A and B are shown apart, each in its own frame.
Chain A
Amino acid sequence: MLIYTLKRLVAGIITVWFIATATFIAMHQVPGDPLMNDKAVSDEIRQNLEQRYGLDKPVSQQYLIFLRNMLPPDPDFGISFTQQNRRVNDIIKDHFPVSAILGLLAITFATLGGILFGALTAIYRNRLPDFIIMFLVILGISVPSFVFAALGQLLLVNVNALIGYSLIPVAGWGTVMHMLMPSLVLGLGTMALLTRLMRSSMLEVVNEDYIKTARAKGLSPIRIFFKHQLRNAILPVITILGPQIAAITTGGFVVEYVFAIPGLGRYFIQAVQQLDYTVIMGTTVFYGAFLVLMVITVDVLYGFIDPRVRLQ
């Protein structure tokens, strides 16, 4: 288990290095240089800036500087080109927690909902609740998140107008009430996917021998359902959580944009639109490392939860 974790970590570090390198190469493919932007700078300032960022050195050295700056424990992503006096580290520090809370709420919501609805459809297989939920699931998979976000806002506007005061704010960030609708919207797609997975997983488990044994032993159906069926059916659902965290993070960009939430995703979009190179590079590498870490964590946790994986 330890060796497995270590192996995964090494592969993860290589992946992050790969991401950083790819980002570096991509950024150096861009025509022009970062100092060419809006205002003309005098030669002295230009030289100073080039020295400061190592832009006067050959590309291979720039690459080494770039990598060295990113090394833990104190990674330095540089200074934003468009927001004055703001370090990329500060931008990440200030805005990532917002995105993280949003994502965490969304994934909690998606997992609970997915497992609950998936189990329900399996119990009511080929009956009305199954059809209704599966219809909603197909809708959830087919409708883009920004449409859900817009519809969610529309719903809130109407609800608030109906009751006469702003119970749940339509946009912004701050209180728990602000977080409800965005995280719901963000989790919807993942929830649909998990419901679908949970349903097929539940139906597979029903035919297993240990369920028959449990039934033959005379256990109560409720005990069989929770102890034997549900617990085993959840396992495959957990594996997909790793990649889904990535989907939720990027989906968060849109939700943050539509709901005007000051998360990192919104800053990333803004940086891309303004070609703020250091912010783009910093957030890409940061998000990349974060996602790789998440996938590894889920995989390793999966080993702890499911003993069968550990044996392999």
Chain B
Amino acid sequence: MIDFSPAEKSVATEQITRPSLSYWQDAWQRLKKNTRAIISLYIIVFLAFFTILGPFVWQVDPALQDLNQVSQAPALPKQALLSGAYEQWQRIVIQDFPAEPDAYREQVDAPESLRLIDIATTQGIRLAWNPVEGAGGYNIYRNERYPEGFNDLGLPLGSTYAGNEIGYEDRLSLEPFTYYYSVVPTDGFDEYEVYSVLTVTPQLTITIDEAKARNLVSDTATPGDVVFLEFHPLGTDYLGRDMLARLMEGARVSLFIGIFAPFFFVLFGIAYGGFAGYFGGRLDAVLMRFADFVVALPFLLFMILFKIAFGVGPGESGIIPMLIALVLLSWPATARLVRGQVLQIREQGYIEAARLLGGRDYYLIFRHIIPNTMGVILVTLTFAVPAAIFTEAFLSFIGMGVVPPTPSWGSMCNEGVKTMLSHPHELIFPAVLISITVLAFNLLGDGLTEALDSRLRSRE
């Protein structure tokens, strides 16, 4: 007799050796393997800190103008000389010298011993020279390089109209650079072709009252002291405003639009697409046809039209109208995507099962359908952020978005483009920030697509 003893059931093979993972845990594990996406995630977190906490760490008013340091490239803190209040310049007139020459001369000598009176500061440079025999006046020129001849004297600053008035004060937007002053004697009207040159490098100065007003010095400071001016780690813009503070302020606008516009239009798209997809039929056809029309609208033209329609003309900031316009024009893409997903999921077995068990429509939608579209939606959201940031930057760039004095990265680029050749840092910093932000969101989106794509998962 054959004894049929049951085969021993091996318990060990039935055991699941690895902990079970939910969809999101699995996706997170995949994302962690993607170095580029993780670096992008860190960048985004850093940007969030930069925007939200930055202004608390770097407490500089983004609208404050530092006129001593206009369009300054990133540099270490600068020193400046404290000076007293400005004192009126007394004209230098020599009494025992004729104001007008007795007779016209063909040729005169160049002015001798052209010299500085007091020390040269950015508050004013005071020149004096010896009177020239036969001159009826003097013209004063300023150049930023050594003059190469009589036709290269530079900027005409002013004239004196007497042969015995032998001094001049230059207060015309002085910077701590080296200047070359030339003095040309005239006969009262026309110049003689001789000149003397003086090289002057003024010291950066700030009046004591202004320094006190800007909290740079204590009350005990006296003229002649050396103080440190405000520190601008990223330099200043063309109005002397701190770039770092403006970038932080501008990040608020750019990221506000960049985050909230996609959030709202994706939300609306989910509702619209979910509704159309779930109920289907004629309603679906009508709703989707309407979405098709909205897609066909020329996007940026309508952004601008919307802004005008909201009564926000050029020259006014319209962050909220911009947000609304973005939402109103961008939702159809998400709606289409969600609808497609819903149409697929609707036919799945588990929906049928849930319905058989008595699940109502809203339960099915919120418990089963929407959570299952979340992956796709998340990816859309990540790619929508850079698009929205681009749109904001574009609108601000052409002057239809945020306008001065509110900074945004786009409008800062617009201002920077104008001074691009002489002060490139004003363009580079906002441009780099826009690019990095968009890059980070794009790479994160790529990473999320790979991590959440179920087709890729089943392939492994």
Residue positions of A touching B, CB distance < 8 A: 11, 14-15, 18-19, 22-23, 25-27, 29-31, 138-139, 141-144, 146-147, 150, 153-154, 157, 246, 249-250, 253-254, 257-258, 268-269, 272-275, 280, 283-284, 287-288, 291-292, 295
Give Cα distance in the complex from A6 to B133, angstroms.
Answer: 94
On whether the beta carbons of B309 and A288 are closer than 8 Å, the reply is no
Q: CB of B27 within 8 A of chain A?
A: no
Given contacts A146-B397, A150-B427, A257-B398, contact A287 B301 (CB under 8 A): yes
Residue in contact with B298 in the complex, picked from A26, A274, A284, CB distance below 8 Å = A284
Give Cα distance in the complex from A15 to B313, angstroms.
Answer: 27
Q: Considering the complex of A and B, which 9 residue pairs feature the smallest CB-CB distances, nearest first? A: A142-B439, A26-B309, A29-B309, A147-B431, A26-B305, A142-B438, A250-B300, A15-B296, A273-B314
Given contacts A147-B434, A154-B420, A284-B301, contact A142 B313 (CB under 8 A): no
Q: CB of B268 within 8 A of chain A?
A: no
Q: CB of B238 within 8 A of chain A?
A: no
On whether the beta carbons of B298 and A287 are closer than 8 Å, the reply is yes
Q: CB of B448 within 8 A of chain A?
A: no
Give Cα distance in the complex from A157 to B299, angstroms.
Answer: 34
Mostly, the B contact residues are helix
Given contacts A154-B420, A258-B417, contact A26 B306 (CB under 8 A): yes
Q: CB of B386 within 8 A of chain A?
A: yes
Given contacts A142-B386, A272-B314, contact A19 B298 (CB under 8 A): yes
Interface string of B414-457 (1 = CB under 8 A from A): 10110011001001000100111011001100000000000000
On whether the beta carbons of A18 and B398 are closer than 8 Å, the reply is no
Q: List 13 A-B contacts (CB under 8 A).
A: A15-B293, A29-B310, A29-B311, A30-B309, A31-B311, A138-B439, A143-B434, A144-B431, A146-B394, A147-B413, A150-B416, A273-B314, A287-B301
Give Cα distance in the complex from A187 to B55, angstroms.
Answer: 38
Known contacts A142-B438, A288-B297, then 13 further A-B pairs from the complex at CB < 8 Å, ordered by chain A residue: A15-B296, A18-B296, A18-B297, A22-B297, A29-B310, A138-B439, A138-B443, A150-B420, A154-B424, A253-B398, A275-B314, A280-B305, A287-B301
On whether the beta carbons of B431 and A250 are closer than 8 Å, the reply is no
B436's nearest neighbour on chain A, judged by CB, is A142
Number of chain B residues whose Cβ lies closer than 8 Å to a Cβ of chain A: 43
What residues of A have a CB within 8 angstroms of the CB of B296 in the complex?
15, 18-19, 291-292, 295
Q: CB of B135 within 8 A of chain A?
A: no
Q: CB of B384 within 8 A of chain A?
A: no
Interface string of B356-398 (1 = CB under 8 A from A): 0000000000000000000000000000001000100110011
Give Cα distance in the complex from A22 to B386, angstroms.
Answer: 27
A153's nearest neighbour on chain B, judged by CB, is B420
Give Cα distance in the complex from A250 to B292, angstroms.
Answer: 20
What residues of A have a CB within 8 angstroms of the CB of B398 in the complex?
253-254, 257, 269, 272
On whether the beta carbons of A280 and B435 are closer than 8 Å, the reply is no
Residue positions of B touching A, CB distance < 8 A: 292-293, 296-302, 304-306, 308-311, 313-314, 386, 390, 393-394, 397-400, 410, 413-414, 416-417, 420-421, 424, 427, 431, 434-436, 438-439, 442-443
Given contacts A143-B435, A157-B421, A291-B298, contact A284 B305 (CB under 8 A): yes
On whether the beta carbons of B393 and A144 are closer than 8 Å, the reply is yes
Give Cα distance in the complex from A280 to B393, angstroms.
Answer: 21
What residues of B have a CB within 8 angstroms of the CB of A27 in the complex?
305, 308-309
Minimal beta-carbon separation of A38 from chain B (angstroms)? 14
Given contacts A15-B296, A29-B309, contact A22 B302 (CB under 8 A): yes
What residues of A have a CB within 8 angstroms of the CB of B443 in the complex?
138
Give Cα distance in the complex from A144 to B442, angstroms.
Answer: 13
Minimal beta-carbon separation of A100 from chain B (angstroms)? 16
Give Cα distance in the complex from A219 to B386, angstroms.
Answer: 45
Give Cα distance in the complex from A78 to B442, angstroms.
Answer: 44
A281's nearest neighbour on chain B, judged by CB, is B305
What residues of A have a CB within 8 angstroms of the CB of B413 in the complex?
144, 146-147, 150
A257's nearest neighbour on chain B, judged by CB, is B398
Mostly, the A contact residues are helix
Give Cα distance in the complex from A154 to B439, angstroms.
Answer: 23
B441's nearest neighbour on chain A, judged by CB, is A142
Residue in contact with A141 in the complex, picked from B302, B304, B421, B442, CB distance below 8 Å = B442
Give Cα distance in the complex from A132 to B424, angstroms.
Answer: 27
Minimal beta-carbon separation of A54 from chain B (angstroms)? 20
Minimal beta-carbon separation of A148 from chain B (angstroms)? 10
Minimal beta-carbon separation of B256 from chain A (angstroms)? 18
What residues of B have a CB within 8 angstroms of the CB of A292 in the complex?
296
What residues of B have a CB within 8 angstroms of the CB of A250 in the complex?
298-301, 394
Minimal beta-carbon separation of A279 from chain B (angstroms)? 12
Given contacts A27-B308, A27-B309, A275-B308, contact A142 B435 (CB under 8 A): yes
What residues of B have a CB within 8 angstroms of the CB of A11 in the complex?
292
Give Cα distance in the complex from A18 to B436, angstroms.
Answer: 38
Given contacts A22-B297, A154-B424, contact A254 B394 (CB under 8 A): yes
A32's nearest neighbour on chain B, judged by CB, is B311
What residues of A have a CB within 8 angstroms of the CB of B308 in the complex?
26-27, 30, 272, 275, 280
On whether the beta carbons of A146 and B421 are closer than 8 Å, the reply is no
On whether the beta carbons of B390 and A273 are closer than 8 Å, the reply is no
On whether the beta carbons of B300 and A253 are closer than 8 Å, the reply is yes
On whether the beta carbons of B309 and A272 are closer than 8 Å, the reply is no
What residues of A have a CB within 8 angstroms of the CB of B390 in the complex?
144
What residues of B have a CB within 8 angstroms of the CB of A18 in the complex?
293, 296-297
Give Cα distance in the complex from A19 to B292, angstroms.
Answer: 12
What residues of A have a CB within 8 angstroms of the CB of B298 in the complex?
19, 246, 249-250, 284, 287-288, 291
What residues of B have a CB within 8 angstroms of the CB of A269 in the complex?
398-400
Given contacts A142-B386, A144-B435, A146-B413, contact A30 B300 (CB under 8 A): no
A266's nearest neighbour on chain B, judged by CB, is B398
Give Cα distance in the complex from A157 to B422, angstroms.
Answer: 12
What residues of B have a CB within 8 angstroms of the CB of A139 in the complex?
435, 439
A283's nearest neighbour on chain B, judged by CB, is B301
On whether the beta carbons of B417 and A150 are closer than 8 Å, the reply is yes
Minimal beta-carbon separation of A13 from chain B (angstroms)? 11
Give Cα distance in the complex from A207 to B426, angstroms.
Answer: 49
B431's nearest neighbour on chain A, judged by CB, is A147
What residues of B have a CB within 8 angstroms of the CB of A258 in the complex?
417
B443's nearest neighbour on chain A, judged by CB, is A138
What residues of B have a CB within 8 angstroms of the CB of A22 in the complex?
297, 302, 305
Minimal beta-carbon separation of B416 from chain A (angstroms)? 8
On whether the beta carbons of B434 and A14 are closer than 8 Å, the reply is no
Give Cα distance in the complex from A29 to B308, angstroms.
Answer: 8
Minimal beta-carbon separation of B23 from chain A (angstroms)? 25
Between B398, B413, B436, B438, the greatest number of chain A beta carbons within 10 A of the residue's beta carbon is seen for B398
Give Cα distance in the complex from A141 to B434, angstroms.
Answer: 12
